[in-house]
Amino acid sequence: MSEPALDAERDAVLAALRPVVDGIAATFGPVCEAVLHDYRRPERSVVAVAGSVTGRTVGGAMSEIGMRVLARGDEARDELNYVTRTADGTLLKSSTMVLRDSTGAVFGALCVNLDVTAVDRAHALLGALAGTARTPEVPATTFGDDIDAVVDAIVDAHPLRRDTSWAALDRERRLELFRDLDGRGVFAVRRSVEHVAARLGISRASAYHYLSQARAVPGPAADTP
């Protein structure tokens, strides 16, 4: 099938899912948000949204989770019932279901986010009363309409970036940083190499050099939750 025909097919799938987005949010009420993504446009992948849990709007960027799916390409799989939290502490139970065309290629995703903060607090209260309270650490995810903010959050949260300066990193750890960012899908976004370079305080040429070396030299798999 030609690329224009495949694009028409993908557009038709997205159009068919728009009312599904509204239906999901209406069924679960104000604690639910459903978001439809078109990964052909990573910087403005949100094509439909219903509900307001993460503050997403149509035309907004994908999240870190979406970048991870994009990095895995056609090997990506559905991620169901995982728990994350927003920057403001809202606890979410989420599912990301990938969309494929007739060739099996991943081109988008349907995401559902449930705000379970109140449920978690009630659980913690009951646990405290019963003497069994536990507070497991939940990873934070950056949701926003600005792709640069998402990239910044991934770079700034990386242990190698958070614990020391770029100048203090040796070559192997610099390669590890770029390899891990690449595995998280950061460099699948347009102009992201330049943006990461600015965030790290290095030249664009240096960033391209380390990315090229990171892709050429085998290393441990990216640590993707």
Residue 219, pLDDT score: 61
Report angle CA 35, 70, 104 to the nearest 5 degrees: 90
Q: Is the pLDDT score of 58 beyond 60?
A: yes
Quick check: pTM over 0.75?
no
Residue 23's Cα: distance from chain center in Å?
A: 23
Q: Which pLDDT does position 221 carry in this prediction?
A: 43
Q: What is the pLDDT of residues 87-141, one digit of tens each?
A: 888 899 999 999 999 999 999 999 999 999 877 666 565 556 566 556 566 666 7
CA distances 89 to 51, 52, 122, 149, Å, are 18, 15, 16, 17
Contact 182, 155 (CB under 8 A): no
d(CA 178, CA 172): 10
- Average pLDDT score over residue span 75-97: 89
- Among 20-24, 129-133, 183-187, 197-201, the range scoring the smallest mean pLDDT is 129-133
